[in-house]
Structure 1
Amino acid sequence: MAKLSARGAAFLRAHLIHLICALALASLALTPSLVPRPTVFQGVMAGLWFMVGFQLGFAVRAAVRALARRLSGRWPRSMAGPDAPADSTRGGREGRSPLRAGGLAAAIGVGLFIYVMGYGALVVSWQNEVRELVEMEPVDGPGHAAFLVSMATTMLLVFGIAKAITALRDAVGRWVARRGGSARRTRWASRTTAVAAVLALVLGLIGGGLGVVGRIYQDRDAGTLEGSSPPVLPGRSGGPGSAADWDGLGRQGRAFTGGGPSAAHIAQVTGTSAEEPVRAYAGLSQGADMQARAELVVEELERHGGFDREVLLVATPTGSGWLEPQAIAALEYLYAGDTAAASMQYSVQPSWVSFLFDPELPQNSSQALFDAVHARWQALPEAERPRLVVYGLSLGALGMSGSFESLEDLLARTDAALFTGPPATSEPWRTLQANRDPGSPVWQPIYRDGERVRWQSKPGDFAAPEGSWREPRLGYLQHATDPITWLDPAVIYRSPEWLSGPADSGGRGADVSDSMRWIPGVTFMHLVADMLVSEAVPPSHGHNFGDVAVDGWAQVLPGHERSQAQLDEIQSVIEGIDTHDPTWE
Structure 2
Amino acid sequence: MNLLRRIAAYLGAHLANLLCGLALASLALTPSLVPRPTVFQGFLAGLWFMVGFQLGFAVRGLWRVLAGKLAGKFPRTNPRVEAEVDAEAEPRGRPRTAALIPVAVGIGLLVYVVGYGALVVSWQNRVRALVEMEPVDGAGHTAFLLSMFATMAVFYGIARGIGALRAPAGRRVSRRGGSERRARWASRATGLVAVLALVAGLTGAGLAAVGWIYADRDAGTLAGSVQPVLGSRSGGPGSVVDWDGLGRQGRAFAGGGPSAANIADVTGAPAQEPVRVYAGLSQGADVRERAALVVDELVRTGGFERDVLLVATPTGSGWLEPQAIASLEYLYGGNTATASMQYSFQPSWVSFLFDPEFAAESSRALFDAVHARWLQLPEGDRPRLAVYGLSLGAQGMAGGFEDLDDLLARTDAALFTGPPANSQPWRGLQANRDPGSPIWRPVYRGGEQVRWQSKPGDFAALGGAWQQPRIGYLQHATDPITWLDPAVILQRPEWLAGPAASGGRGADVSDSMRWIPGVTFLHLVTDMLVSEAVPPSHGHNFGDVAVDGWAQVLPGHGRSEAQLTSIQSVIERIDTHDPIWE
Query: TM range, normalised to the smaller chain?
Result: over 0.9
Matching of residue 54 in structure 1 with residue 36 in structure 2:
no
Structure 1: how far apart are the matches of 2:34 and 2:192?
A: 36
Structure 1 residue aligned with 2:316: 319
Question: Which residue of structure 2 aligns with residue 482 of structure 1?
Answer: 479
Cα offsets for 1:533-576 (capped at 9, x unmatched) = 00000000000000000000000000000000000000011011
Write the letter of the residue equivalent to 2:490.
Answer: Y
Shift of 1:6: 4.9
Aligned AA for 1:31?
T
Q: What is the Cα deviation at residue 505 of structure 1?
A: 0.7
Q: Is the 8 A contact 1:390 1:416 kept in 2?
A: yes
Deviating more after overlay: 460-469 vs 157-166: 460-469
Pair 1:356-2:379 in alignment: no
Contact 1:37/1:530 (8 A) holds in 2: yes
Distance in structure 2 (CA, Å) of the matches to 1:6 and 1:234: 79
Q: Secondary structure at the match of 2:434?
A: coil
Residue by residue, what CA displacement relative to the aligned partner does 1:362-413 show, whole Å, maximum 9, x if unpaired?
0000000000000000111111110000000000000000111111110000
Shift of 1:98: 5.3
Aligned residue for 1:21? 20
After superposition, the C-alpha distances for 1:66-115 in whole angstroms (9 at most, x for unaligned) are: 22332343899xxxxxxxxx999499x99985532442122111100110
Q: Give, in whole Å, the separation in 1 of the partners of 2:392 and 2:65.
A: 48
Question: Is the CA contact (8 Å cut-off) linking 1:482 and 1:542 kept in structure 2?
Answer: yes
What is the aligned counterpart of 1:139 among 119, 136, 139? 136
Partner of 1:513: 510
Q: Give SS of 1:546's match.
A: coil
1:73 alignment partner in structure 2: 72
| 1:271 maps onto 2:272 in alignment | no
Q: Counterpart of 1:369?
A: 366
CA distance in 2, matches of 1:98, 1:479: 60
AA at the equivalent of 1:26 = A
Distance in structure 2 (CA, Å) of the matches to 1:388 and 1:472: 10
TM-score (norm. length: structure 1):
0.95
Give, as a single letter, the amino acid of the residue that structure 1 aligns with 2:116: Y
- In the TM superposition, residue 154 of structure 1 has moved relative to its aligned partner by 0.4
1:380 aligns to 2:371 (yes or no): no
- In structure 1, the partner of 2:184 is 187
Q: Match of 1:313, SS?
A: strand
Aligned-partner Cα distance in 2 for 1:144–1:96? 43
The 4+ residue runs of structure 1 with deviation greater than 6 A are 93-96
Matches of 1:158 and 1:265, distance apart in 2: 53
Cα separation, 2, equivalents of 1:206 and 1:325? 32
Cα 1:90–1:518 change in 2 (3 A) is: farther
Contact 1:441 1:506 in 2 (8 A): yes
TM-score by length of 2: 0.96
Within-5 A mapping of 1:471-550: 471-550=468-547
State the 1:152 CA deviation: 0.2
Listed as ranges, the matches of 1:30-429 within 5 Å are 30-73=29-72, 89=86, 99-429=96-426
In structure 1, what is the Cα distance between the partners aligned to 2:87 and 2:246?
A: 75
Distance 2:457 2:466 in 1: 14
Measure how far apart 1:192 and its partner are. 1.8
| Aligned amino acid, residue 51 of structure 1 | M
Residue in structure 1 matched with residue 80 of structure 2 by the alignment: none
Change (3 A) 1:102 1:286: same
Q: Hey, what's the Cα distance between the residues in 2 that align with 1:9 and 1:39? A: 32
Q: Deviations over 1:220-249 (max 9, x none)?
A: 000000000100111100001101000000
Displacement of 1:9 in angstroms is 3.4
> Whole-Å Cα distance in 2 between the matches of residues 94 and 424 of structure 1?
64
Report the residue type matching 1:117 in the other structure: V
Residue of structure 2 equivalent to 1:81:
none
1:550 touches 1:570 (CA, 8 Å); kept in 2?
yes
Offset, 1:335: 0.4
Matches of 1:572 and 1:504 in 2, distance apart?
32
Unaligned runs of 5+ in 2: 76-82
Deviation at 1:201, TM superposition (A): 0.3
Matched residue of 2:346: which SS?
Answer: coil
Cα shift at 1:339: 0.4
2:79: which partner in 1?
Answer: none
Residues in 1 aligned to 2:548 and 2:264: alpha-carbon distance in whole angstroms: 19
The CA distance in 2 between the partners of 1:492 and 1:391, in whole Å, is 31
| Most deviating of 98-107 and 135-144 | 98-107
Q: Distance in 2 between matches of 1:64 and 1:416?
A: 62
- Give the distance between the partners of 1:99 and 1:5, measured in 2 at CA: 14
Match of 2:78 in 1: none
1:33·1:527 contact (CA, 8 Å) conserved in 2?
A: yes
- Work out the CA distance in 1 between the residues paired with 2:559 and 2:342: 32
**Matched residues in 2 for 1:444 and 1:87: separation?**
72
1:286 partner amino acid: Q
Structure 1 position 181, deviation (Å): 4.1
Q: CA RMSD in A?
A: 1.9
Query: Does the CA contact (< 8 Å) of 1:169 and 1:194 recur in 2?
Result: yes
Q: Which residue in 2 is equivalent to 1:80? A: none
How many pairs are equivalent?
A: 574
Aligned match of 1:82: none
Whole-Å Cα distance in 1 between the matches of residues 153 and 42 of structure 2? 13
Question: 1:315 Cα shift?
Answer: 0.2
For structure 1, the residue ranges without an aligned partner over 5 or more in a row are 77-85
Counterpart of 1:546, as a letter, is: G
Does the alignment pair 1:439 with 2:432? no
Provide the rounded CA distance (Å) in 2 between the counterparts of 1:219 and 1:377: 36
**Secondary structure of the corresponding residue to residue 501 of structure 1:** coil
Q: Distance in 1 between matches of 2:222 and 2:84?
A: 71
Taking the aligned partners of 2:507 and 2:149, their CA distance within structure 1 comes to 35
Name the residue aligned to 1:576: 573
Closer, same or farther in 2 for the Cα pair 1:197/1:271, shift >3 Å? same
Q: Share of identical aligned residues, percent?
A: 75
**Residues 109-167 of structure 1, C-alpha deviations (whole Å, 9 max, x = no match):** 11001100000000000000000000000000000000000000000000000000001
Q: Whole-Å Cα distance in 1 between the matches of residues 219 and 74 of structure 2?
A: 64
- C-alpha distance in structure 2 between counterparts of 1:489 and 1:441, whole Å: 20
